[in-house]
Amino acid sequence: MTFSIHGLAVARGIAIGRAVLVASTRLDVAHYFIEPSQVAAEIKRVADGRDAVVEEIQRLQTSISLMAPKEKTPHEISALLDVHLMLLQDEELANGVRHWIKDRLYNAEWALTTQLEVLVRQFDEMEDEYLRERKADLEQITEKVLRAMRGVSSPLVQPPVRQGRKTSQQDLLLDDTVDVPLILIAHDLSPADMLQFKQSVFAGFITDVGGKTSHTAIVARSLDIPAVVGARLSSHLIRQDDWVVIDGDAGVVVIDPSPIILAEYGFKQRQGELQRGRLSRLLHTPAVTMDGQKIELLANIESPDDAASALKAGAVGVGLFRSEFMFMGRHGRLPNEEEQYLAYRRAVEGMQGLPVTIRTVDVGADKPLDDSLRDDAHLNPALGLRAIRWSLADPAMFLTQLRAILRAAAHGQVHMLIPMLVHASEIRQTMSLIDHARVQLDNRGVVYGPVKIGAMIEIPAAALTLGVFLKYFDFLSIGTNDLIQYTLAIDRADESVAHLYDPMHPAVLRLVANTITQAHAQGKPVSVCGEMAGDTAMTRLLLGMGLRSFSMHPAQILAVKQEVLRADTAKLAVWAEGVMMDDEPSTRISAKA
């Protein structure tokens, strides 16, 4: 019987295939009491299982480090592997397991899952969303240890690679026994599993849990594979080998589709493939509107290796290099000046003369460091010590980053972007630290280059006091992800209020439009680098507001370019003015200009 499950759309496209369930081994572990004479052997069984998983992860880390640059995996995967190693080696886990075996005579598996429950409750009580999300990591590593104890390797370590699979919908309908695409379904997926997923034939994935900003979702988006997260109970409701359709655009999963539905999605899938094919023809077409306005389409990247995909997608530069991914998951050992310099230089050289905008570190909120020396457990981390606030609170760390960026600027066009500024005093402090970094380099006789310095406008207070920003900065970049969050008081990482996170809210649109107008009035470049820039539903409105520079995930560049090529900015400006006056602009935005 056909039924559907609704979740959160994280990565676009349609995938159709048979379900491969990764069952939770936690629920079906054996529960029995052991003899006192067996205690040492049971403790050793857990230790051996854990050591096997540690070795597996270390092997994976080695293979990542040996990958050719073009195959490099997203930086966050390596960071998360570090987190898994740290959790596996945690004393509290080992001591707890020993306690349950020695004092209660639980068998090894029972002891391990009992201690897992103890730790899970502790994670549940944590305020910090990042730490709460580590609960899923703890569950994943426990499952791996359980599998290792049973002598079963991870089902994802050896994905079922099949030769000569048929993908045409007609083939699937005609011949049920042929090799078909596989859809992975799991309660949750670790980034390490996602790594295997990248190299396998899995055509999409579905998880029960996870928000749009979970690490798995981030990795999925960067891999551009159809995916739905937060599809609660999917791993219970879907059976092994069921036919499953993932609509990654709508966030819908259809199970056991009838032939008509299957044919419909097959059609949609082919349409998507054709559309991608058509878009690829625009790669070398300049992004110029029908009325001759040149539009700058830039890429957002997370690591220097992403420069290759930015170039491949036709980006004319990097509008946002989120440098904080280099700072995360390092257990407090932050990258030193040399390491940062080499990374920024690699990004700059990778872009082959095109400009690279390096944003200074933006940790905090949903991107905290795992630095145990810092207390990130604030009541509301999104309003806490985040981004530039964090940098200004640790001038030595900030100066290290500023020197590294200035040095990289000797190798190409570098712009420096400062996140989350709101006070004039923060601006002045930042500027004086940049000057100080230059003096430090001069004193050391180290070569550095010129940089343009820009501010992110991502707090309503900043968007309403642009004068001071325009006085000090060479350019502005509008961070709509946070601007929406802070304007509407909606936590962008909280799936329970995701339906209220509205890029088309008139307050948001007015702040964006005002920023563009005022920057241009002063002759200063302004771009949008939040998700809004890559959302084709918003392209015409942003053009109508006067925006000429968009920075987005490389996979979105061609679709936005298509909108640009069809646009007449003069007409859109008139239309946009009407939209801006509307108290409920969303219907107008989806209607034609």
Token output for 31: 């529960």
Selected binder of ligand PEP within 134, 135, 212, 322 (CB under 6 A): 322
Q: Assess 482 for contact with Mg ion (CB under 5 A).
A: yes
| Nearest 10 degrees: Cα torsion 285, 289, 295, 301 | -60
Token output for 12: 């676009």
Token output for 214: 């979970």
Contacts of 450 by beta carbon, 8 Å cutoff, 6+ apart: 409
Selected binder of ligand PEP within 143, 306, 482, 495 (CB under 6 A): 482
Tell the smallest beta-carbon distance from residue 487 to Mg ion (Å). Answer: 13
Among the candidate windows 24-32, 436-444, 446-454, 479-487, which touches Mg ion by CB under 5 A? 479-487
Check: CB of residue 234 under 8 Å from CB of residue 23: no
- Return the closest-CA partner of residue 353 out of 311, 312, 299, 322: 311
User: At which residue do the structure tokens 């457990």 appear?
Assistant: 377
Q: Give the count of residues interacting with Mg ion (CB under 5 A).
A: 3
Phi/psi for 276 (5° steps) reads -65, -40
Tell the smallest beta-carbon distance from residue 479 to Mg ion (Å). Answer: 4
Q: Assess 188 for contact with Mg ion (CB under 5 A).
A: no
Q: Assess 381 for contact with Mg ion (CB under 5 A).
A: no
Tell the smallest beta-carbon distance from residue 218 to ligand PEP (Å). Answer: 11
Q: Assess 384 for contact with ligand PEP (CB under 6 A).
A: no
Side-chain half-sphere CA neighbours of 415 within 13 A: 26
Chosen from Mg ion, ligand PEP, none, partner binding at 322 (C-beta under 5 to 8 Å by type): ligand PEP
Tell the smallest beta-carbon distance from residue 529 to ligand PEP (Å). Answer: 5
Exposed/middle/buried for 124, CB within 10 Å: 0-12, 13-18, 19+? exposed
Q: Which residues 517-536 are close enough to bind ligand PEP by CB under 6 A?
A: 529-530
Q: Assess 319 for contact with Mg ion (CB under 5 A).
A: no
In sign, the C-alpha dihedral spanning 138, 143, 148, 153 is negative
Q: How many Å separate Cα 582 from the centre of its chain?
A: 33
Q: In the annotation, is 215 catalytic?
A: yes
The single residue of 187, 215, 415, 553 carrying the catalytic annotation is 215
Nearer to Mg ion, 129 or 482 (CB): 482
Residue at 350: amino acid letter? G
Q: Assess 480 for contact with ligand PEP (CB under 6 A).
A: yes
Q: Assess 479 for contact with Mg ion (CB under 5 A).
A: yes
The single residue of 75, 505, 529, 553 carrying the catalytic annotation is 529
Check: CB of residue 412 under 8 Å from CB of residue 348: yes
Residue at 87: amino acid letter? L
Q: Which residues 339-368 are close enough to bind ligand PEP by CB under 6 A?
A: 362
Among the candidate windows 29-37, 59-67, 263-271, 473-481, which touches ligand PEP by CB under 6 A? 473-481
d(CA 155, CA 25): 12
Side-chain half-sphere CA neighbours of 211 within 13 A: 15
Among the candidate windows 9-17, 200-208, 287-295, 474-482, which touches ligand PEP by CB under 6 A? 474-482
Among the candidate windows 204-212, 216-224, 466-474, 477-485, which touches ligand PEP by CB under 6 A? 477-485
Phi/psi for 240 (5° steps) reads -50, 130
Q: In the annotation, is 529 catalytic?
A: yes
Tell the smallest beta-carbon distance from residue 420 to ligand PEP (Å). Answer: 8
Chosen from ligand PEP, Mg ion, none, partner binding at 529 (C-beta under 5 to 8 Å by type): ligand PEP
Q: Assess 458 for contact with ligand PEP (CB under 6 A).
A: yes
Tell the smallest beta-carbon distance from residue 220 to ligand PEP (Å). Answer: 16
User: At which residue do the structure tokens 């699937």 appear?
Assistant: 172
Query: Using DSSP, how many helices (H) and how many strands (E) does the chain show?
Result: 23, 16
Tell the smallest beta-carbon distance from residue 473 to Mg ion (Å). Answer: 16
Helix/strand/coil (H/E/C) assignment for every residue in 430-493: HHHHHHHHHHHHHHHCCCCCCEEEEEEECCHHHHCCHHHHHHHCCEEEECHHHHHHHHHCCCCC
Contacts with Mg ion by CB under 5 A lie at 458, 479, 482
Catalytic residues: 215, 529
